A and B are shown apart, each in its own frame.
Chain A
Amino acid sequence: MHPAPSVIIFTTCSGLGFGLLIWLGLGYPAVTGWVAFAFFTIAYVLAVGGLLASTFHLGRPERAPKAFTQWRTSWLSREAWCSLAALLTMALYGGGLVFLDTRWSGLGLLGAAASLATVLTTSMIYTQLRTVPRWHTPLTPALFLSLSLAGGALLAGQTVIAIWLLAFSGIVQIAHWMRGDGALNASGTNIASATGLGNIGTVRAFEPPHTGTNYLLSEFVYVVGRKHAAKLRVISFALMIALPIALLLLPFNHLFAALAVLSHLVGVAASRWLFFAQAEHVLGLYYGKR
């Protein structure tokens, strides 16, 4: 799949922003006043910034509000509702903390649940696609949720829990990579089932339908840069998991904490790039590619 920058920025930043909102909603850290204002600003910049970035990949962004209508079947529509609910609830809850020095804990729990649901719905947009076997697994929501919770804990300064959550996310990430590498072969979809010609003999794509490229090839058959995938996995894992854990284990220092956050952010972005770039859409089989 084409790793569009808008979608990578969206899933990376929103995941982190909603992760922070989850912890703030639960009251970790239990801040009020200007300190709370600073925390909520960071969370909203990341969450809303990510959502705005996601509209850049739309063909007709001016019609985006229509995406609220089909929540009965569409995970994308459900994501729109969850994100709106989370942002509105947490704005009210944050308003109480910042301006009234009051913590409405029930509202905070509700906002945390909506934030968690937003990350879940984002991950389900990818998980539901049987056409991309690498994504079509419960490990995808597990990866998105654990990374969001870990990154949120990191931003919220919850050092101990952040270390455990980062370690857990690391395990899920490795499992997702390992399963993903064999997912297309295991899916049972291949050029023989795609063409229905497998019972005659070995099928080979002889000639594509056109001499130039097309939307399908540029959107779904992204092969450029996959050769660096192994190196990028190591870099991504080091920045996303290993370095932040090492920095958190050192005696607490604001510089180290900021470095841990920055390293985690870059690492997650690299992991998301791989998430898209390495994903094989079954449509590529018609072109003899994967």
Chain B
Amino acid sequence: MTQLPEKTDRKLGLVIDLDTCVGCHACVISCKGWNTENYGAPLSDQDPYGDASGTFLNRVHSYEVQPEQGVAQLIHFPKSCLHCQDAPCVTVCPTGASYKRVEDGIVLVNESDCIGCGLCAWACPYGARELDQAAGVMKKCTLCVDRIYNDTLPQEDRVPACVRTCPAGARHFGDFADPDSNVSRLTAERGGMDLMPEQGTAPVNKYLPPRPKDQIAKDIDVLAPLLAPVDENPGGFLGWLDKALEKL
């Protein structure tokens, strides 16, 4: 059913820490690995050893941000489905293949109902949905629904593959409906933000902005105690060398 639920019991989602992400793309690979082998159609690649392209549910962009003062910063930016509360991809679906779950708010595609019209991907401002070119059906992040409730996995593995694999600890999984959850507290402490808030999608996933860079006062050198002041008019051997080199 493509009518969005008024309210979901839980709001499962991710917090992505842009301050911590090192841009290693491990989440991209573990996502592809898990999701090509498990739920739904495999994530196909086209011409993988040539002009490669393929289906990914998670991609890492990199942005350069130039502040008014100081040096530019490089920020790695993982992007996957944000499991929006007002998900435009769900309501446009003509077949009911796209839906948002009442129990946990996860946005899913029932692949056996998908006609591959692509309209949900048109409606998503984030590019979170990709039409698999081999299967002809829409693929998207499932929040690893086949891991998080999977009793056959050890407890520590019952999180999305991207979260489990992140070596930097930049990805966090939890319930945003619970104000005391890890993700809710992180969002509150670090000023977690929505992407494209003006699109009115009310995303569940939040992004933690990079922490401000330290500002060091100009006249203090951290190595100052270890360095002898450099003489502007050296004498002795250095003075002779300076003069000799000047004459050359």
Q: Which residues B172-203 have CB closer than 8 A to chain A?
A: 193-200
From B25, B53, B122, contact of A214 by CB (8 A): B53
A280, B19: Cα distance in complex, Å? 30
Q: Which residues A113-172 have CB closer than 8 A to chain B?
A: 125, 128-132
**A-contacting residues of B (Cβ < 8 Å)?**
1-3, 18, 25, 28, 51-56, 59-68, 72-75, 77, 79, 88, 90-97, 113-119, 121-127, 130-133, 135-138, 193-200, 207, 209-210
B199 adjacent to A203 (CB under 8 Å)? no
Interface size for A (C-beta < 8 A) is 60
Q: Chain B: interface secondary structure?
A: loop
Set of chain A residues within 8 Å of B18, measured between Cβ atoms: 197
Set of chain B residues within 8 Å of A77, measured between Cβ atoms: 94-95
Contact A207 B65, CB 8 Å, known A80-B94, A200-B73? no
Contact A206 B117, CB 8 Å, known A69-B96, A74-B2? no
From B3, B25, B91, B121, contact of A219 by CB (8 A): B121
A229, B205: Cα distance in complex, Å? 38
Most B-side CB within 10 Å, residue of A76, A200, A215: A215
B55 adjacent to A282 (CB under 8 Å)? no
If A67-B94, A206-B62, A214-B130 are given as contacts, then 6 extra A-B residue pairs at C-beta distance below 8 Å, sorted by A number, are A129-B122, A204-B64, A206-B63, A283-B124, A286-B127, A287-B61
A205, B130: Cα distance in complex, Å? 21
Set of chain A residues within 8 Å of B28, measured between Cβ atoms: 209
The verdict on A253 contacting chain B, using a C-beta distance below 8 Å, is no
Of A57-65, A87-95, A177-185, A262-270, the segment with at least 4 beta carbons within 8 Å of chain B is: A57-65
**B-contacting residues of A (Cβ < 8 Å)?**
1, 57-61, 63-64, 66-70, 72-77, 80, 125, 128-132, 187-189, 191, 193-197, 199-216, 219-220, 281-283, 286-287
From B59, B67, B72, B122, contact of A132 by CB (8 A): B122
Set of chain B residues within 8 Å of A1, measured between Cβ atoms: 122
A60 adjacent to B65 (CB under 8 Å)? no
A129 adjacent to B123 (CB under 8 Å)? yes
A287, B127: Cα distance in complex, Å? 10
B91 to A, closest residue via Cβ:
A73
A196 to B, closest residue via Cβ:
B193
User: How far does the Cβ of B27 sit from chain A's closest Cβ, in whole Å?
Assistant: 11
Set of chain B residues within 8 Å of A214, measured between Cβ atoms: 53-54, 56, 130
Most A-side CB within 10 Å, residue of B92, B137, B196: B196
